[in-house]
Amino acid sequence: MRVTRVFAAAFVLAVAASEASAQGRRAAPAGEPVETRPPNGRDQKPAFPGQTRAPQPAQPTRLQTETVAEGLVEPWALEFLPDGRMLVTEKQGRMRIVAANGRLSEPVRGLPEVVDAGQGGLLDVALDPDYTKNGLIYWSYSEPRQGGNGTAVARGRLLTGGEPRVENVQVIFRQQPTFQSSLHFGSRLCFAPDGTLFITLGERSFPQSRVKAQALDNTLGKVVRIHPDGSVPKDNPFVGRENARPEIWSYGHRNIQSAAIDSQGRLWIVEHGPRGGDELNRPQAGVNYGWPVITYGIEYSGQPVGEGITAREGMEQPLYYWDPVIAPSGMAFYYSDRIPGWRGNILIGGLISEGVVRLVLDGERVTAEEWIDLGARIRDVKVDPSGAVHVVTDEREGRILRLLPARG
Ligand SMILES: [Ca+2]
Ligand SMILES: [Ca+2]
C-alpha cells in the first residue's frame, strides 16, 4: 500500500512538468458572446431573447491542466469508480480501468463485439446506482446485426480484481429498426434518482431514417426510459398507446451524445444539430423536440433542412442553441466550490470547439457562456468528488486531463 502511494506521488511530480494553463477563449470582449462568426441560418431568428449567443462572463476562468493518463485509443466515456479509479471506454471496443496514478489496466474481458466504424463503436458507460453492492455496469455500443447495425445497451457485473472482466452480460435495450449506417448512434446513459435509466439516441442520419424521429413506432431519434433490467416503467408517456413504443420518453431528436442529470433529478441533453443548430434541451415526458421538421442551421450541403422552418405549434423550442455548432460530447453539472463561480453550471465537452463549453443558468435560461480552450477534441466531461473536472480527449493517443483553478 505504502509503495503504491509513493509511486502515485512520483507520478504527480512527473505530470507537473506537462502542466499547461487553460482559460476562456476570448475572441470577443467580456460581456459579448464568445461566438463572433455569422450563423449558417442567415435569416433565422431566435424564438426568444437569450436563446443563443449568451454573453461571456465578466471574468474569464483561469485554470491549470494536468495530464492524468495517456495511451488511450480514441476514448469515448469516463466514469469514476467509488475507489477513485476511472472506467474508460475506447471507441474501437475496449474498456479499461485507469488507476489514480494513470496506469491503464488490460482491456476488460467479456464485452460483446461492436461495429467500430464511423461514429460507431463502444460508446458510453454508466455505473448502477447500487454499484457498491451489485457491481453492475451498463454500456452502450453499436451492435452488429443482420442487415446492418443499431445502438444497444448491455449490462454486466464488473470484476476488477486481477484481470478485469464482466460476467452475466445481458443486453437490456436494442434500438429499432436496424439500419445500415455508421452515423448517429447517440448514446449516453443516465440514471434518474428514481432508479430508471435514460438512453439518448440518434436517428442514424440518412433521409429515410431521420424522418422516423417524428414517428412513435420506432426508437430512432428518441430519449428512451427503461428499468435497469430492460423492462418498461408503467408511467412512461406512451404506455398503452397503439403503434407507439412504450419505452419512448421524448422524440424528435437528431443525435444526442450529451446528457446529464441535475441536482433536482432532471435530465438535460445537448444534441448535435446539422450545419448550425446544436441544441440544449430538458426532455420532458411525451414532448416532441421537432427534428427534422424544425431546426436551426442548414444541411451540410447548404440547402435548408426540410421547409427551413425553426418553429411549429406542438414542437418544443430548444432552451439554447449554437450556430455555428460546438459539436457536443459528454456533459456534467458542476456542484462544487473548488472552481469559484462554477456551482450549478453545465459543462459540455466540445469536439469542433476543442475544449469545454461552460453555461451559466438562471432556471432554464442560459445567462452566460464561456469556452475553456484545451486545444483538443473533448469526448467526455466528468467531475470527481473533490470538484476537479476530468475530460477525455478524442485522439488516437487519447488522454485524461484534469482541470483545476490556476495557482497564484
Ligand atoms: Ca457515462
Ligand atoms: Ca429540436
Domain range summary for the chain, segments of one domain joined by +: 20-405
DSSP three-state, residue 189? strand
Q: What is the mean pLDDT of residues 338-357?
A: 96
Q: Is the pLDDT of residue 3 over 50?
A: no
Ligand with minimal distance to 279 CA: 2
Ligand nearest to the CA of 125: 1
CB 127 within 8 Å of CB 113:
no
pLDDT given for residue 13 in this prediction = 33
CA distance 259 to 286: 18
| Cβ-contact 141, 109 below 8 angstroms | no
Residue 238 scores a pLDDT above 70? yes
Q: Give the type of residue at 30.
A: A
CA 78–ligand 1 middle distance (angstroms): 6
Cell numbers of 279, please? 441544441
Residues lining ion ligand 1 (Cβ < 5 A) are 77, 124, 126
Does residue 209 carry a pLDDT above 90? Answer: yes
Give the separation between CA 76 and CA 96, rounded to whole angstroms.
11
Contacts of 18 (CB under 8 A, 6+ apart): 66, 67
**Least confident interval from 14-23, 136-145, 158-167, 173-182:** 14-23
Please check whether residue 238 is in contact with residue 215, taking contact to mean a CB–CB distance below 8 angstroms.
no
Q: How many other C-beta atoms lie within 10 A of the C-beta of residue 398? A: 22
Instruction: Provide the residues around ligand 2 (an ion) whose CB is within 5 A.
Output: 289-290
Instruction: Write out pLDDT tens, residues 8-53.
Output: 333 443 343 345 566 666 567 888 999 999 999 999 999 999 999 9
pTM of the entire predicted model: 0.94
Output the CA 79–ligand 1 centroid distance in Å.
Answer: 6
Task: Say yes or no to pLDDT of 266 above 80.
Answer: yes
Q: For the structural domain made of 20-405, what CATH number should be given?
A: 2.120.10.30
And the C-alpha cell for 189?
A: 446513459
Considering 184, 253, 272, 390, which one is annotated as catalytic? 184
Say how many Å lie between the CA of residue 321 and the centre of ligand 2.
9
- Answer whether residue 398 shows pLDDT above 60: yes
CA angle 362, 47, 271 (to 5 degrees): 70
Mean pLDDT across the chain: 93
Distance, in Å, from the CA atom of 177 to the CA atom of 150, rounded to the nearest integer, reads 8
Nearest partner of 277 among 67, 2, 39, judged by Cα: 39
What separation in Å is there between the alpha carbon of 257 and the centre of ligand 1?
Answer: 10
Per-residue model confidence (pLDDT) at position 361: 98
How many angstroms separate the CA atoms of 222 and 200, rounded?
6
Question: What spacing in Å lies between the alpha carbon of 279 and ligand 2's midpoint?
Answer: 7
Q: Is 184 a catalytic residue?
A: yes
Instruction: Compute, in angstroms, the gap from residue 290 CA to the centroid of ligand 2.
Output: 5
Higher pLDDT, 5 or 277: 277
pLDDT attached to residue 121? 98
Mean of the pLDDT values across residues 63-78? Answer: 97
Percent of the chain with pLDDT over 90: 91
Say whether pLDDT at 352 is over 60: yes
Q: How confident is the model at residue 61 (pLDDT cuts 50, 70, 90)?
A: very high
Peptide bond into 187 cis (omega under 30): yes
Residue 63 binned pLDDT confidence (cut-offs 50, 70, 90): very high
Strand arrangement, sheet containing 122-127: 122-127, 136-145, 148-159, 165-174
CA of 359 to the centre of ligand 2 (A): 19
Ligand nearest to the CA of 312: 2
pLDDT score of 20 = 58
Percentage helix, strand, coil, to 5, in the chain? 5, 40, 50
Ligand nearest to the backbone CA of 295 = 2
